[in-house]
Every structure is written in C-alpha cells, then in structure tokens.
C-alpha cells in the first residue's frame, strides 16, 4: 500500500510486535507509513527474545514494557502512553497469543490445566483486561478502533490448534460483549480479524503448520493473506473509513472461510 495520510494525527498502542515476521510488527510499519504514532508494548520476557528496539527506531516509537495479564502494568501503560503521545488514543492492536500446552506438546485430550489457564489468561482474558483498563481510564477518543487477532479454529475443528481454539473463541466473544459497551458509551469500535494461517513465530509453534499453510493456500481462491496484507487491513480498521464497523469477526483469509472444497484440494486426493 502506498503512503497516505490515512492515520495522520492518530495515536495508539500496538501490543505483540516480536520480530519482523509478526503481524504486529508489520502493522507498526504500515501505521507509521500512513502517518500514525504509537507506543509499542510487549511482555518483558518477549522483548528479550525479540528485536523490538529496531522497530521502535524505524517507526519513531516509544517502547513501554507491560505484562498484558497484569492490571497494574496495563494501567501504567495506558497512562504513560497518553502522556507520551499527548492525549487520548485512537487505536489499539491486541496481537497476543500463547499456549503452554502447545509449546510443551500436550494433546488437547491431555491438558495440564494450570497451563491451560495461563494460555487463556495471556491469549484471551488479556483482551478484556486491556479494554477494561482503557474503558475505565476513558483513554480512547470517540470513533477510536480496537482490533484483536483471531483464527477460524474458534468456529471449526483444527485438531492440532489445541486449546488455542478455545482461547480464540473466548477472545471473539469478549470483542462482541465489550464492544457493545465501548460503542454505546464511548463511540469506540471493537473488532476481531480472523487471519489466514501466517508463518509468524507464534504460528510456527503449531504441529504440522507448514502442511496446513499449504492446504489453506490450495483451498483459498485468492491464496493465503500474508502478515503484510493483514497489516493493510488493520490500517483500514484504524482509519475513519470504517467508523460504523463494530462487533464483527472479519475473515481475512483469501476466501478460505466460505469454501467447502477446492479443485486443487480434490486433485491432490486423486493423484
């Protein structure tokens, strides 16, 4: 997408940029290109693993570390971001997901439940915590936009996606429920983007991921949406061009979500 002033004067927070493969990273680059300013945030442990300083330099952004499951951290993040950016926020991207069961190879039918709770807190409940902090602090401008990232496993069975499927279903429900109150009381919109399988650091942790990307590519008439494509879509949702779009789970997947089967997949079976 070419440079525009689509987000000129808009300010926000981007959660979850880890490295150049992550959707949050690509979004930060695109928001900067379109004139937006932002604070970058991630959990302190994730920041040690990633290269977020490079991104901050490139986009003139400030980094404020925060654990998105910790209310004190979130309050500090929201307060300091407004201070740094000189006013209320116009956009927030929640791009956070983690399953300890997936990381440690526990099958869905054999979950370790304290791991399940940790993953749910990080991947889903943190979205509520972020929005509750923004809402109570009255930190969003009218017609602001909050976006969370999700996946179609929230609606359909993808066996190896494990307990992340439950986390994403919960995340989508929070977006609708909190989105109602945010819209009614603050004129702020809340949506989730259900993205194609994307080879990010988090995505690659799922078993059989490469095969699945190739299957989704064959199923989707437009092919898989890349992290860069997703960043473009997020920019449109942060802009004033989508002011009346809220409570939606928006499929950004090259058409995958409406397919039963494709010719390419059928041919794969008949070879």
Reported confidence tier of residue 203, pLDDT bands at 50, 70, 90:
low
- Residues 7-58 have pLDDT tens digits of 999 999 999 999 999 999 999 999 999 999 999 999 988 777 768 999 999 9
Reported confidence tier of residue 205, pLDDT bands at 50, 70, 90:
low
Does residue 1 carry a pLDDT above 60? no
Whether residue 5 is contained in a domain is answered as no
- Angle among Cα 139, 242, 86 to the nearest 5 degrees reads 30
Residue 163: the pLDDT is 97
Query: What average pLDDT does the segment 159-166 reach?
Result: 95
Whether residue 21 is contained in a domain is answered as yes
Whether residue 1 is contained in a domain is answered as no
Q: Using alpha carbons, list the distances in angstroms from residue 149 to 4, 102, 198, 248.
A: 24, 18, 12, 12
Whether residue 2 is contained in a domain is answered as no
Query: Is the CB of residue 127 less than 8 Å from the CB of residue 80?
Result: no
Rounded-to-integer distance, Cα 201 and Cα 148, Å: 17
CATH number for the domain that contains residue 170: 3.40.50.720
Task: Specify the DSSP class assigned to residue 187.
Answer: -
Reported confidence tier of residue 271, pLDDT bands at 50, 70, 90:
low
Whether residue 166 is contained in a domain is answered as yes
Rounded-to-integer distance, Cα 1 and Cα 33, Å: 9
Reported confidence tier of residue 208, pLDDT bands at 50, 70, 90:
confident
SS3 (DSSP) at 189: strand
Token code pair at residue 50: 């990633």
Domain that holds residue 190: 11-270
pTM over 0.75: yes
Number of domains in the chain: 1
Rounded-to-integer distance, Cα 203 and Cα 20, Å: 14
Query: Is the CB of residue 16 less than 8 Å from the CB of residue 95?
Result: yes
The closest of 110, 121, 102, 101 to 209, measured between CA atoms, is 102
Q: Give 96-128 as a DSSP string.
A: ----HHHHTT--GGG--HHHHHHHHIIIIIHHH
Out of 19-28, 122-131, 206-215, which region has the weakest mean confidence (pLDDT)? 206-215
**Residue 151 CA from chain centroid, whole number:** 10
Does residue 98 carry a pLDDT above 80? yes
Residue 209: the pLDDT is 79
Reported confidence tier of residue 204, pLDDT bands at 50, 70, 90:
low
Whether residue 54 is contained in a domain is answered as yes
SS3 (DSSP) at 22: coil
Does residue 70 carry a pLDDT above 80? yes
B/e letters for 127-136, b = 16+ CB within 10 Å, e = fewer, are bbbbbebbbe
Whether residue 6 is contained in a domain is answered as no
């Amino acid at each position: 997408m070419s440079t525009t002033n689509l987000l000129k004067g808009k300010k926000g927070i981007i959660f979850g940029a880890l490295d150049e493969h992550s959707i949050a990273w690509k979004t930060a680059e695109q928001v900067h290109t379109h004139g937006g300013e932002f604070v970058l945030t991630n959990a302190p442990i994730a920041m040690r693993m990633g290269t977020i300083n490079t991104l901050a330099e490139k986009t003139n952004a400030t980094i404020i570390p925060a654990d998105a499951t910790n209310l004190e951290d979130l309050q500090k993040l929201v307060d300091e971001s407004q201070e740094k950016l000189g006013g209320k926020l116009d956009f927030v991207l929640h791009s956070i997901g983690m399953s300890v069961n997936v990381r440690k190879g526990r099958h869905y039918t054999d979950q370790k439940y304290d791991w399940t709770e940790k993953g749910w807190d990080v991947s889903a409940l943190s979205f509520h915590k972020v929005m509750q902090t923004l809402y109570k602090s009255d930190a969003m401008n009218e017609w602001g936009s909050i976006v969370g990232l999700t996946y179609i496993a929230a609606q359909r069975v993808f066996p190896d996606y494990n307990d992340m499927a439950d986390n994403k279903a919960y995340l989508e429900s929070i977006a609708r429920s909190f989105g109602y109150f945010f819209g009614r009381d603050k004129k702020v919109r809340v949506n989730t983007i259900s993205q194609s399988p994307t080879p990010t650091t988090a995505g690659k942790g799922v078993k059989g991921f490469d095969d699945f990307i190739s299957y989704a590519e064959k199923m989707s008439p437009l092919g898989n949406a890349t992290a860069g494509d997703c960043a473009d879509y997020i920019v449109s949702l942060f802009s004033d061009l989508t002011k009346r779009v809220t409570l939606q789970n928006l499929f950004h997947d090259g058409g995958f979500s409406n397919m039963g089967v494709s010719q390419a997949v059928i041919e794969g079976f008949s070879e």
